[in-house]
Amino acid sequence: MKNIHQITDKIKGLHSNLFANDFLLTWDKTEDELRQTLLVAEALKYMRDHNIATRCFDSGLAVSNFRDNSTRTRFSFASACNLLGLEVQDMDESKSQIAHGETVRETANMISFLTDIIGIRDDMFLGEGHTYMKEVGDALDDGFKNGVLPQRPGIVNLQCDIDHPTQSMADLMHLADYYGGLENLKGKKIAMTWAYSPSYGKPLSVPQGIIGLMTRFGMEVDLAYPEGYTLIPEVVELAGKNAAASGGKFRVVNSMEDAFANADIVYPKSWAPFAVMQRRTELLKNSDKEGLNALEQECLGNNARFKSWECTEEKMRLTKDGKALYMHCLPADISGVSCKEGEVQNSVFERYRIETYKEAGFKPYIIAAMIFNNKFKDAAAMLGRLCERNKRRVKG
């Protein structure tokens, strides 16, 4: 149990305010709060690996509200809730009364009578996802204040139009594990680059999450994309401020090769241009199918101009000692496997495939840590009690 005691001692030395607060954007959290999330995730993983039960709820509901398709995050949320003892209930809007005029305020309260946590993914409409999560939060505040709800459920952002905090925090945990500690990331160069995809409309939240978080820890972050494939300007500006404050570096370049040069880590990932996502949102709101089809053809044609933006063996040789760590949130567009031409060459992906699976494997613990910190005011003490109880997860 020495490792757990070391972790809880570190948590005790932090100043954080995660209890009873939603986890929506990483840049709304202090560095200590980010560190506590990582430490609690590390403790929960250690306990699971050593067959120590982490169920701290005898009952309770966790509502899973996915307004977009998902594999990794959906199952990570379910795994995280089960790890802590909560039962997951999917909120399928097609089976609700929303189509009959039920408001967000009403829905939020109706699903929350005995609910401890609500996980929301809403990433398709630029300017809408984060706003929706805040609206749900306001409705829960109102319900709790007026005695409708016995407790105010916490909200975890499982991806919105602005940020993907469970992904970027899992990525950060993966990097800390790979390089032997969070302190070893300072000065490491990560290339967050656009990459070609034969599809369009991919959210901006992953690259924005990466540049918004990694710049907090003194890393050298290059954001690379072809002309016109910009992100939300305010997030790019924020990344620059974060780098200046942490002693790191941040720059925007229009060359994949430039970003890969001497990089320790590469993260080639397709996204739609900010301006395209703005247009797409308006078309979706208006149910303009013809307009959406025309926009898709326009964007696919524009993407095709940049097929050279692929993570290849040649580009990987430009990285530090030719051995940069390849990262991806998955699923990747793998050339010759999942598509004819895509984000990454098959041989590169296959070499790092297991590492990307490990990267994804940290997400359940990050989500569990976000829930844990939201529900327990003294996270270190609660972890200590679980360890002292020393209940076997698997009896045998």
Q: What is the pLDDT of residues 239-296, one digit of tens each?
A: 999 999 999 999 999 999 999 999 999 999 999 999 999 999 999 889 999 999 999 9
Residue intervals in the chain for CATH 3.40.50.1370:
2-163+363-389, 167-360
pTM above 0.95, yes or no: yes
User: What's the CA gap between 263 and 79, in Å, rounded?
Assistant: 34
Write out the CATH class of domain 167-360: alpha beta
Partners of 222 in the beta sheet?
191, 251
Structure-model confidence comparison of residues 201 and 189, the more confident one:
189
CA dihedral over 246, 219, 271, 256, signed as positive or negative: positive
The pLDDT, as a whole number, for residue 69 is 85
User: What's the CA gap between 247 and 217, in Å, rounded?
Assistant: 8
Q: What is the mean pLDDT of residues 159-168?
A: 98
Q: How many C-beta atoms surround the C-beta of residue 129 within 10 A? A: 25
User: Which amino acid, residue 127?
Assistant: G
Give pLDDT tens digits for 352-395: 999 999 999 999 999 999 999 999 999 999 999 999 998 999 98
Q: Is the pLDDT of residue 2 over 70?
A: no
Out of 3.40.50.1370, 3.30.428.10, 3.40.50.300, 3.90.550.10, the CATH code matching 2-163+363-389 is 3.40.50.1370
Q: Is the pLDDT of residue 97 over 80?
A: no
